[in-house]
Amino acid sequence: MLTPVAYGLAIVLSLFCVFIGARFLLAPRASAAGYGVAATPDGGTAYLTVKGLRDLSYGLLGLALIAFTSADAVAWYMLVVALNPLGDTVVVLRNGGTRAVAFGVHFATAVVILVDAALLFAL
């Protein structure tokens, strides 16, 4: 029972990263607002593109690890990936974003990723 839950959650989290990355590449300004720190109207979107590529890459790598490696490898990957939403929490708080988005979106995501890492380690 634990295996489908752990892997199912890992797949959902990886697909979510792919979705977020693609959204940042296709609609960077709207994505930035959803992230919790709006892009400046006169600024470029280079950093938003970098975030999109980062998230897309992490999602695709997660899916590849799920398909071709062990639960331990995926668990270690999830443990490392949890640093991103933790860092995003700090970025949102330091750049005028709301605490609701910082903790309700980014920090909560980190917690879910860490729970999934623990489930994968338990397999």
pTM of this prediction exceeds 0.85: yes
Q: What is residue 81's predicted lDDT score, i.e. its pLDDT? A: 97
Tokens 């729970």 locate to: 115
Given this model, what pLDDT does residue 104 score? 97
- List the one residue out of 26, 49, 50, 28 whose CA is nearest residue 39: 28
pLDDT digits (tens, 9 = 90+) for 26-73: 999 999 999 999 888 877 788 899 999 999 999 999 999 999 999 999
| Calpha distance 90→110 (Å, rounded) | 12
Domain count, the chain: 1
Query: What pLDDT score was predicted for residue 72?
Result: 97
Half-sphere CA count of 34, side-chain side, radius 13 A: 10
Q: Which residues constitute the domain of residue 90?
A: 2-122
Question: What pLDDT shows up at residue 45?
Answer: 84
Q: How far apart are CA 103 and CA 96, in angstroms?
A: 13
CB 104 within 8 A of CB 85: no
Output the pLDDT for position 40: 82
